Structure 1
Amino acid sequence: METIKIEPELDEDAAQNDTGDASGSDNCNLEVKTEPEIDIGPICVEESKRLYDISRLRAFGDVPFVIKRMELKDFPLSYTKAVTSVEKLLAWLRRNKVPNGIGIAFRIAQHMPSSCILILAILNHKCHFFATDKMMLSKALHGQMCTAGVDYLVVSGHMSVGAVYFERIDICLVYNEEYKLFKLKRTPTDPPVQAKKPLPGNMCYTITTTGTTGTPKLIHVPYECIAPNVLALSQKLNVSMADIIFLGTPCTFDPFVVELFLALQTGAALLVSQHTMREAPSKVLSALFPTSVNPTGITILQMTPSLFRQFGATAIRERILSNSSTLRVLLLGGEPFPSSAELTTWMDPRVLLQKHICNIYGITEVSCWSLLHILHSLQTQMPLGTPIDDETVIRIQYQTNRNMEHGELFLGSATRRCYIPEIDDVEKAKEDSAICFRSTGDLVIRLEDGTICYGERANDVVKRAGNRISLGLITRKIEKCLPSGELASCLWLEELQKLICCIRTLEIKTKVQQRAQTFDILSKLLNAEQPDRFIYQQHFPCNVHGKLDKELLLKECIPLAQPAQEILKSFLHDRLECVDVSNERITKKQRLEHSQPCGFDLSFRQAGGTSFHAITICREIGLQMCIDDEQRHLFEMLLDENVPLRTVLRFLDTAKLVANNTKLKPVEPLPTKTVNCATGISGSCGLTITRIEQPEIKFQFHWKVNFSKCIDSPVSQYEERYICVGAHSQILRTLDPQTGIELSNVKLPDRIECKVTFLSEQLAMVGCYDGCLYGFNPLTGDIVWRVEIGGMIKAQPLLTADGSRIVVCSYAEDYNVYCLSAERQEVLWCMRIGEKAIFARPLELPNEQSLVICTLDGGYTRVALTDGSVEWAQKCKEPLFATPVLLDSKPSHFLCAEVAGRVHACHVGNGKIMATYTAEGNIFSSLVVKTPPTHMGYSFVVFGCIDRHVYCLRCNTERVRQPVYFELQWKVDMGAPIYATPTLLTIQLIGHLVWSSATDGRVVLMNFHNGQIQWSAKLPGEIFSTSCYIESLRRVYVGCRDNYLYCLGV
């Protein structure tokens, strides 16, 4: 292992850590060669010394290269020390016999000083780098690297890859950050290398497109393509050694190369932050523009407009684009540039006299930027700009000679040429001296003075009810109706043929304000352009590259399944001004007093509806109708001027509807005969119940529901209002706890053994054997969202106490722990703990922002909830199946259990084992802790064991001077192994009881204090499912391997 150390100034940091095919014909091409806005003279790229050569970088001496900004202090790394570290990494690569002239892939969680050193080492080893998606699963990563022709992979920190696909070679520490070197394992079934030709000489990096301009593609970028871009940009923006550049773009998005290379070209400093814009924009703002004089703020910032907006208009105006801000250059690119109206909310026009606010444009296929426009006024139309260097040529291709308003923009160069195997290997080869044009997929407008302005995406046209509409054009029309600073995005929902308009507002609007704005917008749109729904939001989501995530936005905006009446009422409220839904509760006498019909007494046409509106409504409601004739009848009623809306609503009330157009199978009708515990006589369910003790406790069988296959999942309940459980049959049912009547039914792709977690009344989540986490509406059965985790999920997903995060543990080979945003299901961080899978649910430590996670390799680890960083790690000898649990309400200790039968009390602060109790068999059951008020200073721990016993241990909790210890309170023989976790019951007038189930189907009720059996019964099948108890109903729900869920009550 090679360890690279630096001076003590960094030691304190140790603990922290596209382009689609051109549409249209070639009838009319306009080739434009424009002059740059600033004459920078000829661009000459020196071949002998590239800008990343360490012999060149050494000349910058002690000037800061990377500054890692923590909340209290900066940790700078000079160019001199960086060069020294690169030389050590080069020796490490040579020692591991990594060849020169090849590609080396890497995956990092975020930018660090060490990751910059790694990239420099790869380039100075005469190799090119390939930044890969940190969320990609090992199998997909293996395939991508095979296709790219890359054999070596460097992985940082706690990130990992599957041993099936990669062989680990060595480990290196760079500024206390661990890097692992892997080599691809080749198999006969590997996909072939995509490139049919040799890669260009002087390769610099390989990157994949995001698919914005078409399907994702591999792009091989030679040094001759990116270097002139960086040199020209540095000259235009006057970048110097005095500048500080924010290195914030993800390494899978090629503008990050510009940030890095601008610093290397000029000797400027890079600034990295431990926070990200997706998670904490305010903390990033404080890091980039501190309120105090020291440390100093950044001078150059490059971002997408969507990401930049997340700072908020107030912070932008007062902190970023104020006269006193240190910012000198703002580069906004990757998306359409903000409008003049939005820019005026961000800055005073005089700011343009002292800062460069730039619209920068380019595509990955001509890496990286091609056009630049520096703003001189906030009132003019924002052009795309002119070529950054004198090597770039632009071409506008019009579909016809008659339509010269919009044309598709192509970017080309004779020297700045990337190799794109998917395109270049199938198109006719061009001479090396010929200009190679790449389609941008953007339609542009060329004004009379030659200025080129962005129009819309070429593929942003959809067909709606026989009309071709442009989503971009409709969006621009709507934004002209909005107040300054508000944004719109029009989305097309193909399944329902619905046009949805999302409006981002600066402040929450009332229903009256939303309605007034909606009517104003509709009055200025053609009939075919009018959206079906208007959704008001305060934030638009961004993808990993900082661009507007339209897929996620659409998912957020799709309304949950509504009753047909509500769909119509919502439409009437949003669209038809003369129908006031809120005032419909007037008496019949009041309605008769009006001389003219009003409200729901109007027909659909009288209310302002058109045949186009009727088609839209019938299409949406029709998807929920079981009978086609009813859909046709609804359409006729809407167009009949003699049919009032009130009649239409009554018809919809009687129509036969089904959510998602899927008919639900009714629950099997069940008898509810009472079981007489005293006599042992049972009903038709076949239960044999025998009274053991205390005849005053009488259980009766209430109902059972058939799930077709065995139920091993624990049963879950929501606020005692309904229960939910899944089975091996892939069926997930939500049931009424009193009657067993099915409220909803979800069919997942694979078996379910995971316990359901509820986020709210209308949203729950469950893991599946197919490796996905599903969010669903338990009342309707609709799948709301789906997140691919990469391995079987048996552990119940954790919703944090503040409701903001979801933590999922799984059997995935890559990352067995994921942390997601509860609101948008975005991945906040992921990691791999241990060498094996995770069966147990994680334990959240209250007020600590930390988790304890147990794995099947015997490890248990405390990680930070904020970023997944490891706070401590300990190891047992045997696997941990039991979910860890806190010892009491004010915890300094938690409990975990090895499968070998050892129960440990561990310290929360360091994980050290403070006490151990050893049972006489293996433990698969989780631990249940109760601290009765009658036993001050003690907690009781109950669990099942495969030695056939239920154990109850007593453990001291408040004796400061006395160490923690266990002692056996009682244990009860159930006659069969116990895998299910016991359930604690509280019954008025009876007290605390323990319910436990055994693998032979036996269910037993025991006295909590002494273990005395109060009642026992035997179900027809084995029981591995943990039961659920609803206290208000005094009922227990238990899944059985005879395929039934049983409900029994006291």
Structure 2
Amino acid sequence: MAARTLQGLVVAAASGHSDRVAVTYDDGSPMTADDVVFLASPLTFDPSVVDMFLALSSGAQLLVVPSVLKQTPGRLARRLFQRHKTTVMQVTPTLLTRFGQRTLKQEVLSSASPLRVLALGGEACPPPALLRSWRQEHNRTSVYNIYGITEVSCWACCHRIPESLLQSPAHAESFVPLGAPLMDTRVEVRDDEGGLVTEGEGQVFIGGEERVCLLDLEETVVPGTMRASGDWVRVRGEELEYLGRRDRLVKRHGKRVNLDSLQQLILGLPQVDACAVCLHEGLRLLAFVVPSRNQAVQQRRDPPEPPPPSGTEGTADGTDGRLRRLILDQLSLLLPSHSVPDTLLLIPALLLTPHGKVDTEALVRTFQTQRKRLCPSPGDASNLRQAVELLWQLAVCGQDVLGLPEDVPVEENSSFLSSGGDSLKALRLCEDILTATGAASADLLEVLLDGTFSDVLSHVERAARGATSEKGPLKRRSDVPSAAPGKRERKQSAAAEERWAVKVVRRAGEVVDVSIPETTVPDDARKQNPSRGGGVLDLSLSWASDTGRCVDASPLLLVRYRGEQSPQEGRATVIIGSHSHRIQALDLLSGSLVWERVLGGRIEASAAVSPCGSLVVVGCYDSCVYFLCASSGDTRWIFKTGDAVKSSPAVDPVSGLVMVGSHDGSVYALDPEDSGEVLWSYRRDAPFFSSPNGSTGRVLIGSVDGNICCLSSAGELMWEFLTNGPVFSSPCVWADHRRVLCGSHDGCLYCLSADGSLVWSFQTPGKVFSSPCVFDGSAVGRRGALVGLVSTDGTVWILDGRDGRTLASFTLKGELFSSPLVWRRSLVVGCRDDFVYCLKLAVKDEMTKE
């Protein structure tokens, strides 16, 4: 049926600017006289005309409520669904979330709800998982995603969300499509040059021969005119996935951030009822979150946190502080660092415009009001120090400026970087300090990166007084006394450094000597009198270190010793990464922290060391391979791949090349001495999670397609061995390169000959994601090689290398994806219970004597 012009009126578009449009309708809408339509929008918003016409054209009732009633969601729900039995409701998702999850489930979308049709439009449709969480079992409401723009008379597309998607969590759909065009409506997706897009991303254009829309002073329009929507979508076959407004696709720190996608992701967290995300002043990423009432109740059942530092203010109590950190912690695991909000505010409800959309300007004013609490009084030196110290603590702890920090004093000689900061945190801290103190300084960032807390405070005091901004002599990190050994970089004089040699022990039992040749058999082991059978072996706990996040990465051991010493007399340091984005250096004897860096994403890959022994190489979820200084953790250079790097780098001792696999399906060979030049790459159709082993002059690597592959140094496939599951484990080579060990998702550890044929296999009760470790058994009085192995069920195994027979085992509390490392009689491994464990390997009769 042809569309007819109902009336001409002035309506306010989503941008807040007034437009004169002609509203059209289709009088074939499926309405009856028994329906009750809720007029949710004000008369200045074009969906109100749709509500009125739906009621008028079908003889249904139109329910109009006072504006003040809309501000009290509980009363509004009772009025709509208990008293007037509303059957049709057309609202924005934000307005719907004002009801809260409890009211949504017990009133709006309950099993007995009178609501027959719920149409969600004007904003991005919530993800299916969130919609399911709002519905009570046996609810019969039909839910629609409607889409359109004011410039083409309101709605243009409609999609009824399938009942199966709203009922079953088994569906994998993560978005709700815009739906099919309405009658006489044409929808196109065009790229930046105006070309039609059939697959991929582009902007939505809406129009049609019969869709008449007159804007502003227009009196006529060319038939078939297509209006740009400003909305970006992804074409997926016959469906359009809404990505967000074009002006909500921003660049931050050089990286692209989709604010609407970020908002949807936060909405998917179980602790969140509603949220809004915006970029303040082009720099600070703000997230305003309405917490779930169920989560708030649960948080209040937990033990209270310690009170905030004396003299500080916060916007919430300890309960809100824990909930805020819980949400930020989850986001840090799900997002790259540039997409994690700088500030997360917990608010009771989102502020709305009269049209039912998020009032971003009002929310930002709330943020600005809260920030003023941190500003010191003019000329008050004690308050200025308090503000700078508070902001420093917040930045180091990874909390937002409105959270409650831990009560940890800042030492005068503390360095921001060695205390847990990084360059991105330094930028945020610089802005916070200048905003809070009212000071102006172009040099503060440099002082933060190179100086101490005392330097920063003195610089800010001078800048706040309007004094010269010239920098005085800074206390560089090398001049800082090691008063806090857990957070300081331990440095030696240049003369002492020249006399140090390095032995590197890493995953898969690889041992590399730098500077001084040394055999892989420990000196004290040679003094043993190994027997063929030996005593009964046993594993016991030596120490455990809490990292705060899951540890899937595998440890790397650096043993530094003087030329006249044996390696066993040297200082052993464990280097390991965590899901917390941190890579740490820990003392092997005590587990104490030597240095720490925060990278751009999760670290699941274990590190490697360059042939010169001065660079630590590690892959990261941010698609980068980092080359860090082994003694301090400072960045030397970075190589960017096409996707996340879960593979651990391998170093070829012959050529010195660093080889690493990426989730982009490529294996890269990098020259560490030539700033990351790619010498060759090998690509398969399946991605690489396994890490390459190049100790034989060939490259051994496992593939997701179940194969253990052997490549030549030129990247040609030599042989492959097929297992019964994906291979995430990395190959281990031993016995003069005559044996290859590698685990598989099928739960087996495979021992292969140099030509790829099977020698023996060992079946675990779990899966073998990590790499085995081969070490000399003479350290515990046994002849031949022993194999250290872990399986995902939490078991650590010691096997006989000749036949795969079990010699000892130890069970930890969490899952194990990290690969074990053995040095002398210590076995180190990371665990998914957030701890790094050091186990002691000994003969049982020796333990009895002890």
TM-score, scaled to structure 2: 0.45
Kindly name which structure, 1 or 2, has the bigger radius of gyration based on alpha carbons. Answer: 1
